[in-house]
Amino acid sequence: MTPGPDLQELINTIKADAGSDDELEQLAAAAATISELTSTSDAALGFFVDRARGAGKSWVEISAVLGVSKQAAHKRFADSWTSKPGFRRYTTRTKAVLDAAKDVARGRNNAFIGTEHLLLALFSQPESLATKVLLAHNITEDSVRAAVDAKSPAGAPADAETVEKALDAEDPPYTRRTAHVLQGALGEALTLGHNYIGTEHLLLAFYRDSAGVAAQILQEQGLDENAAWSTLRGLFEELAK
């Protein structure tokens, strides 16, 4: 295993970052550095947990490798991801998409937020990279909505009260597959070396679960993962000019 920096190297780095001999300023720099290292370490571990889940490994198997209980592993890497602190790296547009997904679910009388709701919600942000990829491949809000109608019909109006109660809850009613996409978006960001999670990462994360409604619709409408990657690379190059 490639060794990380030893204690002295870390201390020297923190002192250099502080740019001062003042003990309190060095302490502040140390606190910021350790916080960032902890966050990055958790994100990296979450990336490999997500890969294991995507490969079909159970929470029992994963918890055994991590040396914790199944409940502890699930709470740390699944349940906690859908809580508010888990979204701190999301961009403004990504957060807006998540909010819009609730509106999409509400409009369909669905008391849950599925991958299909996230996919439709992307069109609420027309300038986002994900939406630009979709439109570049002639995938429109109307075409996606028609596909969603066929695969996941709207609920009955009589369920409106149940829907409102679920969607207004403190913890959003994400389906298992949607939670997997949200976790997967972090993995996509890490793969690209990004310290934020944008709509493009959500789009790529859809492909981590080929059985998800969003992934099925994207494939059926001619946008496979390779095509999405190719178009995104072009957009990244334009932004870098």
pLDDT score for 85: 39
What DSSP assignment string belongs to 24-62? HHHHHHHHHHHHHHHHHHHHHHHHHHHHHHHTT--HHHH
**Residue of higher predicted confidence among 124 and 156:** 124
Q: Say how far apart CA 128 and CA 144 lie, in whole Å.
A: 17
pLDDT score for 84: 46
Which residues are CB-contacts of 167 (< 8 A; sequence separation ≥ 6)?
102, 105, 106, 111, 113, 173
Q: What is the reported pTM?
A: 0.69
Cβ burial of 136 (10 Å; 0-12, 13-18, 19+) is: middle
Contact assessment for residue 119 and residue 95, using Cβ atoms and an 8 Å cutoff: no
Q: Which long-range contacts (CB under 8 A, 24 or more apart) does 224-227 make?
A: 227/137
**Residue of higher predicted confidence among 117 and 75:** 117
pLDDT tens per residue across span 127-183: 999 999 999 999 999 999 999 999 987 776 656 777 777 787 767 788 889 988 988
Kindly state the average pLDDT of the residues 197-223: 94
CB atoms under 10 Å from CB of 90, counted, come to 22
